[in-house]
């Protein structure tokens, strides 16, 4: 009987609950959705608080700037290692990266060694962009900002499909095709290992075409690759830049730092040498690496120093701006605190006006409590009866100490600090702009040199046997008899006879960094001859147009003594290049070819040792 009563009571309660739910069937789903939103907001706040996230600045249309960005999953992994009590040497610290797009370039090509962090950099950028548009705080430093993207399009990973008969390359191309169809100028595109999975030459051609399409669309993009031709693409095209993940060749481990403006290297030969591959194999590998790879490295070194200085100046300018904004925020907080004290003081004045004779009031200077007799606002005093004695007390003595004086001093100090930091920030910003302009000039010089080299290749490709060509030695012109491009040699006929010379001496380019100087105006002797009627200045200039730089003799005691003195110069020392009339810094000697590789400004040159003199006492 008791069990029946219990079952009847349960059925009644369930029936009442069902009726209540039925009567509130329209309200309960809304309450459930609201509860879910509150729970989501609380989870976001707790997540941001636990890992010290910051709120980035969101812009409708602008550039992407991420300072000290970290991947949330890597942060959680580091936190778990700390909770587990692992010693510091066994933990994996999270290395922050700085990324920017849409500021001075729109597309960033990330290169470097395998497992160096290229894919992590792409995933971090994509994830943080999506988190920001989901209303979440980000694991980034202050000053970070992101635009609102219409699409975030990402191709990362290898998705082979046996059922659809798709290879690695096929799956990659299919995803790239879908991304190009959907991308617009308000999209963020991230492609991992562009052009991989097929022949490097054809993959490089496809990669360049994809980059051309992304530039035409006008979107922001971040692309990782190993192809050297795409690194050159960033040098030769506007609004495209290189970046690299650092690799420590001493420890043979990546450092995971992202360096903008510097294309990376795979370091395969260096790693192979360090792991014990035979020396003759390494030497053969360096030989097979080819002139193109060495020329590319030389081109990168030509602009590396100026770019590093530019990036360092930008980082310093950002730090100064953040410090200035911190002081300004402190100033705003102190002003708010002063306004709060002002309101307290006004409230005290209002209460003082409500005092009536006979009210008790404390006199701080006497440390006694008396009765108020009267308040004389015109004299700023109050008459107080203390122990049957009337005392005139200044109203300023009755004002409570709210700390206004200290706050005003802090505000004055912050004002001076803000002005000082504003001047410093302006100076640093101007220096950053100067460094960036210097890098742009170096890049322009490098592009001009590349065009000059391509022009030489085009002239060499059009050369035919029997054609009159210009050569880099006297008399300046000769008839081409034989051209052996695989061997890099050519045979020409001059007035003095038949000579064999390297193809580099065919079609010598003019300019300050070519094998011969740009022709100049005739000198004093030529002008004197023109005055005597032998030849005019124009005739002399026309004759000298194709004349190469006169080389000094390599034979004789004086030349040998000079050579010995030059060879004593250590790498990094200064030498004087006679044909160019300028000093240059020694990089190394190539004694097999009797040449020196020197650096003048941002460029490297190969100069015969006979055309170089040592610099003594700066002269």
Q: What pTM did the predictor assign?
A: 0.57
Percent pLDDT > 90 in the chain is 16
Per-residue model confidence as pLDDT tens digits over 271-284: 677 777 787 777 77
Beta carbons of 501 and 493 less than 8 angstroms apart:
no
CA-based max dimension of the chain:
143
Per-residue model confidence as pLDDT tens digits over 420-432: 767 777 777 777 7
Six-digit token pair at 398?
């009755």
The CA–CA distances, whole Å, from 110 to 222, 234, 521 equal 7, 10, 47
Neighbour count for residue 7 (Cβ, 10 Å): 10
Beta carbons of 64 and 146 less than 8 angstroms apart:
yes
Give the pLDDT score at 552: 59
Indicate if the pLDDT at residue 209 is higher than 80.
yes
The CA–CA distances, whole Å, from 259 to 244, 262, 304, 309, 311 equal 5, 6, 11, 12, 9
Reduced 3-state DSSP string for 181-212: HHCCCCEEEEECCCCCCCCHHHHHHHHHHHHH
Per-residue model confidence as pLDDT tens digits over 158-167: 554 444 445 6
Run of H or E including 471: none
More confidently predicted of 546 and 571: 571
Give the pLDDT score at 64: 92
> CATH says 37-269 is which class?
alpha beta
Quote the distance between the C-alpha of residue 378 and its chain's center.
67
Indicate if the pLDDT at residue 492 is higher than 90.
no
Q: Is the peptide bond before 475 cis (omega within 30 degrees of 0)?
A: yes
Band of pLDDT at residue 520, cut at 50, 70 and 90: very low
Q: Is domain 551-619 in CATH 1.10.10.10, yes or no?
A: no
**Most confident residue range from 70-79, 290-299, 512-521, 533-542:** 70-79
Give the pLDDT score at 311: 65
Band of pLDDT at residue 39, cut at 50, 70 and 90: very high
Helices (H), 363-476: 395-398, 404-462
Mean of pLDDT over the chain: 77
Instruction: Beginning with the edge strand found earlier in the chain, give each strand of the sheet holding 612-614 in spatial order.
Output: 603-608, 595-600, 582-590, 574-577, 612-614
| Residue 386 DSSP one-character state | E
Six-digit token pair at 88?
């510091």
Per-residue model confidence as pLDDT tens digits over 171-185: 888 899 999 999 999
Percent pLDDT > 70 in the chain is 72
Tell me the average pLDDT across 71-76. Answer: 90
Beta carbons of 122 and 192 less than 8 angstroms apart:
yes
Run of H or E including 604: strand 603-608
Per-residue model confidence as pLDDT tens digits over 353-385: 666 777 777 777 777 888 778 877 777 787 888
CA dihedral sign of residues 425, 428, 432, 434: positive
Indicate if the pLDDT at residue 548 is higher than 50.
no
For residue 370, the number of C-alpha atoms closer than 13 Å in the C-beta half-sphere is: 22
Six-digit token pair at 54?
């910051």
The CA–CA distances, whole Å, from 537 to 475, 520, 523, 527, 548 equal 19, 11, 9, 6, 18
3-state secondary structure of 240: strand
Measured CA to CA, the distance from residue 540 to residue 456 in angstroms comes to: 26
Run of H or E including 497: strand 497-502
More confidently predicted of 446 and 256: 256
Helices (H), 143-278: 168-182, 200-217, 228-236, 268-274
More confidently predicted of 402 and 440: 440
Tell me the average pLDDT across 245-257. Answer: 74
Q: Which long-range contacts (CB under 8 A, 24 or more apart) does 388-392 make?
A: 391/363, 391/366
Beta carbons of 595 and 551 less than 8 angstroms apart:
no
* Burial of 33 from C-beta contacts in 10 A (0-12 / 13-18 / 19+): exposed
Q: Beta strands 187-191 and 220-224: pairing type?
A: parallel
**Most confident residue range from 6-10, 243-247, 427-431, 479-483:** 6-10
Per-residue model confidence as pLDDT tens digits over 102-149: 888 899 999 887 767 888 899 999 999 999 999 999 999 888 899 999
* Domain residue extents for the chain: 37-269, 278-343+396-462, 551-619
Instruction: Identify the CA nearest to 216 among candidates 249, 239, 236, 234.
Output: 239
Indicate if the pLDDT at residue 296 is higher than 70.
no
More confidently predicted of 422 and 588: 588
Give the lowest-confidence range in 134-148, 365-379, 391-405, 551-565.
391-405
Beta carbons of 186 and 146 less than 8 angstroms apart:
no
Neighbour count for residue 592 (Cβ, 10 Å): 6
């Amino acid at each position: 009987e008791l069990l029946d009563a219990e079952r009847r009571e349960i059925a009644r309660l369930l029936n009442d609950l069902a009726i209540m739910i039925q009567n509130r069937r329209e309200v309960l789903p809304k309450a459930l959705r609201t509860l879910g939103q509150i729970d989501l907001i609380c989870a976001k706040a707790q997540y941001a608080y636990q890992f010290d996230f910051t709120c980035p600045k969101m812009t409708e249309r602008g550039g992407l700037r991420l300072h000290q960005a970290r991947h949330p999953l890597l942060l959680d992994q580091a936190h778990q290692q700390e909770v587990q009590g692992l010693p510091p040497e066994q933990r994996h610290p999270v290395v922050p990266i700085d990324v920017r797009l849409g500021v001075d370039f729109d597309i960033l090509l990330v290169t470097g060694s395998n497992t160096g962090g290229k894919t992590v950099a792409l995933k971090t950028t994509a994830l943080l962009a999506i988190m920001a548009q989901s209303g979440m705080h980000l694991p980034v430093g202050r000053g970070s900002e992101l635009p609102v993207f219409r699409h975030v399009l990402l191709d990362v990973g290898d998705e082979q499909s046996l059922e659809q008969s798709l290879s690695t390359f096929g799956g990659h191309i299919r995803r790239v095709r879908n991304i190009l169809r959907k991308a617009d100028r308000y999209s963020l595109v991230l492609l991992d290992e562009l052009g991989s999975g097929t022949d490097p030459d054809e993959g490089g051609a496809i990669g360049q075409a994809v980059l051309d399409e992304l530039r035409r669309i006008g979107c922001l993009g971040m692309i990782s690759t190993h192809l050297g031709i795409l690194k050159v693409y960033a040098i030769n095209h506007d609004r495209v830049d290189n970046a690299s993940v650092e690799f420590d060749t001493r420890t043979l481990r990546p450092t995971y730092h992202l360096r903008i403006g510097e294309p990376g290297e795979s370091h395969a030969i260096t790693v192979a040498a360090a792991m014990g591959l035979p020396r003759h194999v390494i030497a053969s590998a360096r030989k097979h690496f080819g002139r193109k790879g060495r020329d590319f490295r030389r081109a990168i070194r030509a602009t590396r120093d100026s770019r590093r200085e530019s990036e360092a100046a930008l980082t310093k300018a950002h730090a100064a701006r953040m410090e200035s904004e911190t002081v300004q925020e402190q100033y705003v907080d102190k002003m708010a605190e002063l306004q709060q004290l002002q309101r307290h003081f006004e409230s005290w004045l209002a209460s003082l006006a409500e005092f009536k004779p006979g009210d008790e009031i404390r006199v701080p200077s006497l440390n006694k409590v008396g009765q108020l007799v009267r308040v004389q606002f015109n004299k700023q005093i109050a008459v107080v009866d203390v122990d049957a004695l009337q005392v005139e007390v200044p109203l300023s003595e009755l004002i409570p100490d709210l700390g206004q004086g200290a706050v005003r001093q802090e505000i004055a100090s912050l004002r001076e600090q803000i002005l000082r930091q504003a001047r410093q920030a302006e100076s640093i910003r101007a220096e950053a702009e100067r460094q960036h302009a210097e890098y742009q000039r170096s890049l322009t010089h490098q592009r001009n040199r590349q065009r000059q080299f391509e022009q030489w290749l085009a002239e060499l490709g059009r050369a035919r046997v029997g054609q009159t060509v210009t050569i880099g030695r006297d008399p300046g012109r000769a008839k081409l008899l034989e051209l052996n491009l695989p061997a890099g040699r050519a045979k020409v006929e001059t007035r003095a006879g038949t000579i064999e010379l390297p193809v580099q001496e065919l079609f010598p380019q003019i300019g300050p960094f070519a094998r011969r100087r740009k022709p100049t105006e005739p000198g004093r002797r030529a002008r004197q001859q023109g005055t005597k009627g032998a030849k005019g200045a124009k005739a002399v200039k026309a004759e000298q147009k194709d004349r190469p730089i006169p080389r000094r003799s390599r034979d004789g005691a004086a030349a040998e003594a000079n050579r010995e003195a030059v060879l004593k110069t250590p790498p990094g020392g200064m030498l004087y290049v006679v044909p160019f009339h300028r000093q240059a810094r020694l990089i190394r000697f190539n004694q097999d070819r009797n040449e020196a590789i020197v650096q003048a400004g941002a460029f490297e040159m190969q100069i015969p040792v006979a055309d170089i003199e040592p610099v003594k006492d700066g002269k």
